[in-house]
Amino acid sequence: MDGQGFLLVCVAVPLLGSFILPLVGRVSVRLRNILALLFVLTSFMAAIRLLPQAFSGGNPVMAKLVLPAGFTLGFMGDSLAVFMALVSSFVGALIVFYSFGYIEHYENQNEYYMMVVLFLGAMMGLVFSTNLVLLYLFWEISAICCWRLIGFFREKQIILRADKAFLVTVGGAVLMLLGFISIYAQTGTFDLTAMKGADISNLAVILILFGILSKSATLPFHTWLPDAGVAPSPVTSLLHAAVLVKIGVYVFARLFLVNFNLADIWNVAVPVIAGISALVAAGAALVENDLKRIIAYSTVSQLGFIFLGLSCGSPIGIAGGLLYIFMHGLAKGGLFLCAGIVEHATHTKDIRKLGGLFSAMPVTAIAFLFCGFSVMGFPPFGGFFAKYMVIGGAVDAGQPWIALTFALGAILTIIYLMRAFIKVFLGSVSFPGAKEGSWEMVFSVGILGLLSLLAGIFINIPAELVDSIVSVLTGITIGG
Partner 1 sequence: MNGLGFNTFIYLVIIPALAGIVILFLPKKERLIKSLLVFAATLFNLITAIRLFGLEETWHTKWGGLSNFGIDFALRTDRLSMFILLAVGAMAFLVAFYSFAFLRDKDYGKGFYFYYLITIAFVNGAVLANNLVLMLFFWEGLLVTLFGMLLLKGRHKYPTAVKALTLVGVSDLALMLGVGVTGFAAGTLMMDKITAIPVEGIAVLGFVMMMLGAIGKAGSMPFHSWIPDAADDAPLPFMAILPGALEKLLGIYLLVRICLPGTGLYEFLPHTPVSTVVMAIGALTIIFAVAMALIQKDFKRLLSYHAISQVGYMVLGIGTALPIGIVGGLFHMVNNAIYKSCLFLSAGAVERQTGTTDLKKISGLGAFMPVTMICFLVAALSISGFPPFNGFFSKELVFDAAMESGIIFYIAALLGAFMTAASFLKLGHAAFFGKPQLPEDKKVKEAPAAMLVPMIILAAACILFGVWNSLPLGQLIQPVLGDAMAGHNYAGWPHTPLLVIISIIVLILAIANHFFGVKRTGKGLGAVDHIHYAPGLHFIYNRAEERWFDPYEILMVISKFFAWIAYGIDRAIDWIYNGFFVWVANSVSKGLKEFNTGKQSQYVIWAVSGLLIVIFVFAVLVK
182 binds partner 1 (CB under 8 A): yes
Compute the least distance from the CB of residue 188 to partner 1, in Å. Answer: 10
> How many CB atoms lie under 10 A from the CB of residue 187?
17
Work out which of 403, 434, 447, 473 binds partner 1, going by CB under 8 A: 403
Measured CA to CA in angstroms, residue 475 lies from 198, 257, 470 at distances of: 16, 11, 8
Contact positions with partner 1 (CB under 8 A) in 54-73: none
| Whether the Cβ atoms of residue 14 and residue 118 lie closer than 8 Å to each other | yes
* H/E stretch holding 385: helix 383-396
- Only segment of 73-81, 129-137, 214-222, 262-270 that touches partner 1 (CB under 8 A): 214-222
Closer Cβ to partner 1, 121 or 355, answer by number: 355
184 binds partner 1 (CB under 8 A): yes
Count of residues that interact with partner 1, criterion CB under 8 A: 75
Compute the least distance from the CB of residue 298 to partner 1, in Å. Answer: 13
Binding mask 317-346 for partner 1 (x = CB under 8 A): --x---------------------------
> What contacts 24+ positions apart, CB below 8 Å, involve 361-364?
361/425, 361/434, 361/435, 361/436, 361/437, 362/436, 363/436, 363/442, 363/445, 363/446, 364/338, 364/436, 364/437, 364/442, 364/445
475 binds partner 1 (CB under 8 A): no
Closer Cβ to partner 1, 109 or 236, answer by number: 236
| Whether the Cβ atoms of residue 329 and residue 405 lie closer than 8 Å to each other | no
Closer Cβ to partner 1, 337 or 470, answer by number: 470
206 binds partner 1 (CB under 8 A): no
Binding mask 108-137 for partner 1 (x = CB under 8 A): ------------------------------
Residues in CB range of 431: below 8 A, 6 or more apart: 345, 346, 354, 357, 360
Work out which of 384, 386, 402, 430 binds partner 1, going by CB under 8 A: 384
Binding mask 347-366 for partner 1 (x = CB under 8 A): -----------xx-------
Compute the least distance from the CB of residue 306 to partner 1, in Å. Answer: 17
The percent helix, strand, coil of the chain (3-state, each to 5) is: 75, 5, 20
187 binds partner 1 (CB under 8 A): no
Contact positions with partner 1 (CB under 8 A) in 272-301: 279-288, 297
| Whether the Cβ atoms of residue 325 and residue 469 lie closer than 8 Å to each other | no
473 binds partner 1 (CB under 8 A): no
Work out which of 40, 410, 442, 451 binds partner 1, going by CB under 8 A: 410
Binding mask 413-432 for partner 1 (x = CB under 8 A): -xx--x---x---xx-----
89 binds partner 1 (CB under 8 A): no
d(CA 471, CA 480): 11
d(CA 439, CA 441): 5
> How many CB atoms lie under 10 A from the CB of residue 280?
18
> What contacts 24+ positions apart, CB below 8 Å, involve 176-179?
176/136, 176/139, 176/207, 176/208, 176/210, 176/211, 176/212, 177/136, 177/211, 178/207, 179/203, 179/204, 179/205, 179/206, 179/207, 179/208, 179/210, 179/211
d(CA 56, CA 441): 37
479 binds partner 1 (CB under 8 A): yes
315 binds partner 1 (CB under 8 A): yes
Q: Which of 358, 221, 211, 368 is nearest to 294 (CA)?
A: 368
Work out which of 88, 130, 169, 468 binds partner 1, going by CB under 8 A: 468
- Only segment of 8-16, 26-34, 82-90, 469-477 that touches partner 1 (CB under 8 A): 469-477
| Whether the Cβ atoms of residue 106 and residue 234 lie closer than 8 Å to each other | no
Closer Cβ to partner 1, 40 or 165, answer by number: 165
391 binds partner 1 (CB under 8 A): yes
Compute the least distance from the CB of residue 286 to partner 1, in Å. Answer: 4
Work out which of 158, 194, 363, 395 binds partner 1, going by CB under 8 A: 395
Residues in CB range of 17: below 8 A, 6 or more apart: 35, 39, 42, 117, 121
Work out which of 78, 290, 343, 467 binds partner 1, going by CB under 8 A: 467
Work out which of 157, 202, 261, 477 binds partner 1, going by CB under 8 A: 477
